[in-house]
Amino acid sequence: MTEAVIVTMEQDTVLALQNGGYRLYGFRATRTENQAVLPVLWLATTAYSTRTMVALEDGYHVYTSNSDLGPGQRIFMGFTASVDLGQCLIVDQAGIGQVVQGRIGFMSVDNTGSATFVAGLAQRAVLNEGTQTDDPTSFFAEPLYGKQTNFFQPTSKILLVLSTEVLTPGTAIDALPLLPKGEVAVHGMAQTSGIFIDVTATRMVNFDINRGWSWGEANWARLVNVSTDLIDTLIE
């Protein structure tokens, strides 16, 4: 496991964020042509410090779900299976099945039944060199209709943002601020800009409470402002 982001902060920044109730959120990017797809919150933690590692664990899981798909909805994964590029999960009327050889260069799920499911990819988030989520967490979700095959590709890109909004991993989100599009906030919140990082190697980034994100202006990262549509950012 070599793909990781190291986030550094000064102590006064960490204290300011913790006193403000900020959480560190992480999203994963993917490639799919399905225009009904939604990004899903992959990582949420308050366990950040002056040096925090967010790593991408080797290996992916493909899943089916009976959850409703929409902004703000929790996606509860039902059947899951380990999958590599070039493999396909074939599922039956109950949304369960087995992994077989599929189309080269893609991960896919083939629904042989007539029921509609939600499907996508999941991966464990590894935090602080060894601490990881107990189960893989979904990072996108899209409809899987009967007699249909969905093809997708994970990428090495992640989005990090700090926010006081309280959200749970596995929640479908379509826009920043971290509220479903069109929903009226019933309470105040605060949020930093995000940083979109191509994690093809270990990346070092810094966050300062007043100056925001910095990374030496290398071409493997860019800022994402608070009005950015997450679908445009995370779905290629």
- What are the pLDDT digits (tens) for 53-90? 998 888 999 999 999 999 989 999 999 999 999 999 99
What is the per-residue pLDDT for 12? Answer: 98
Domains of the chain: total: 1
Residue 217 has pLDDT above 80, yes or no: yes
pLDDT tens across 161-213, in order?
A: 999 988 899 999 988 766 555 555 555 678 899 999 999 999 999 999 999 99
Residue with tokens 């919140």: 189
- Nearest CA-CA partner of 42 in 161, 131, 165, 144: 161
What is the per-residue pLDDT for 128? Answer: 82
Non-local CB neighbours of 76 within 8 Å, separated by 6+ positions: 65, 66, 67, 170
144-170 residues labelled b (16+ CB within 10 A) or e (exposed): beeeebbbbebeebbbbbbbbbebebb
- Other C-beta atoms closer than 10 Å to the C-beta of 231 total 17
What is the per-residue pLDDT for 197? Answer: 98
Separation of alpha carbons 41 and 140, rounded Å:
8
34: phi then psi, degrees, rounded to nearest 5: -75, 115
To the nearest whole number, what is the mean pLDDT of the chain?
91
What is the per-residue pLDDT for 180? Answer: 52
What is the per-residue pLDDT for 2? Answer: 59
Burial class (CB in 10 A: 0-12, 13-18, 19+), 230: buried
pLDDT tens across 107-164, in order?
A: 999 999 999 999 999 998 888 865 555 689 999 999 999 999 999 999 999 999 999 9
The boundaries of the domain holding residue 42 are: 4-234
Return the structure tokens found at 219.
């071409």
Longest dimension (CA), the chain: 56
Separation of alpha carbons 194 and 213, rounded Å:
8
